[in-house]
Amino acid sequence: MVTIIDRTLTSFDTAGMSARDLNHFCDLLFSCGVTKIELTPDLLARLGFPSSAASLRKWLGGRSFFLTRIFPISLDSSGMTKPQPLWKLEPNDLVEKNIPVSKLKSALSPHQKIRITGLEDLMNRDYPTVFKALLGSGAQTLDLCPSNHHHCAAAIALEWLLAGGTSISCAFANHHNFAPLEEVLMGLKLHQPDAFSGDLSVLSELCGLYEKCSGQPVAKMKAIIGADIFKVESGIHVDGVLKNPHTYEPFNPQTVGNQREIVLGKHSGRKSLLYKLNDPGLSESTAHSILKQIKSRCTQLGRNLSDLELQTLASEVQNDKKIYC
């Protein structure tokens, strides 16, 4: 079984987060497929844990915790067993090591619980051999937390899991240069759809909460969670995606709580226009005139046209043609 550890909350300032937002953030992480959430001791009281958690915090000192979600069996009103999710705290006893690839094998000892950080250049090396050596090291627990300085941490994480690794640490939206959680989860879903049980449709809500709590906007074209990644403007793209969405979409937009949107801009073609106006009887000359105006207007504005702006412009062009015909 694969363990997905999220480290987002340990790496940004949560002082401005309300207890409600903090709890909801954790709920959404668990819903999308996270196994454990790494927390700092300071976050415990704000999450509303009982007094027994205080002794654990005191014993651990400044070290971090793992928050896990368990499903104990309970009886519902009909007497049937029904799992009720609960949160549980456990100590994070992983020893972090940032070890050069050349020294990995000699630096690991059997029966240790280790988190290996760094490894940002692993994709440029013979990584299958490196993974084989790691898996054969005899370590009791081996968690990989690759750095994303070379923008390939998600690929390293997925290759590690596919090679037989059982634990990976990530952070949402590439926070703190860890492997982007959303990309790792989507990779697992696409590669092992029957084994993956997370609900990625909550990613859109999680993204909004992340932006609110961190004060950091997520790039609109960010893979998996970007707000604009399913906006289609180019004429040939619109034609292709309307005929077969898989032409340009590796997964359904609703999978991540998003939706496809055809937008009109300076790269749009007749197919886009007919789709947006829902007027298959539009003449070739009228469509050409409207598209010419669209491209001119979008160039001036530096953006796409809204649906209302499109309808207004199309009406103006059609009325002009009636007057001069």
Which residue matches tokens 């999308």?
A: 32
Pick from 142, 194, 189: nearest CA to 163: 142
Exposure of 110 by Cβ count < 10 A (0-12 exposed, 13-18 middle, 19+ buried)? exposed
Rg (CA), the chain: 25
pLDDT tens profile 160-203: 999 999 999 999 998 888 999 999 999 999 998 888 889 999 99
Give the per-residue pLDDT at 34: 96
Give the per-residue pLDDT at 323: 46
Pick from 11, 32, 10: nearest CA to 257: 32
Q: What is the 3-state secondary structure (H, E, C) of 206-250?
A: HHHHHHHHHCCCCCCCCCCCCCCCCEECCHHHHHHHHHCHHHCCC
Q: List all residues 6 or more positions away from 240 whose beta carbon is below 8 Å from its beta carbon.
A: 247, 248
Give the per-residue pLDDT at 303: 84
Q: Are 57 and 28 contacting, i.e. CB atoms less than 8 angstroms apart?
A: no
Give the per-residue pLDDT at 305: 79
Give the per-residue pLDDT at 199: 95
Q: Are 166 and 134 contacting, i.e. CB atoms less than 8 angstroms apart?
A: no
Secondary element (H or E) of residue 166: none
Positions of the chain with pLDDT under 50: 323-325
pLDDT tens profile 56-87: 667 667 678 899 988 766 555 665 566 667 88
- DSSP state, residue 38: E
Report the alpha-carbon distance of residue 181 to residue 29 in Å, rounded: 10
Q: What are phi and psi of 313, to 5 degrees?
A: -65, -45
Give the per-residue pLDDT at 324: 44
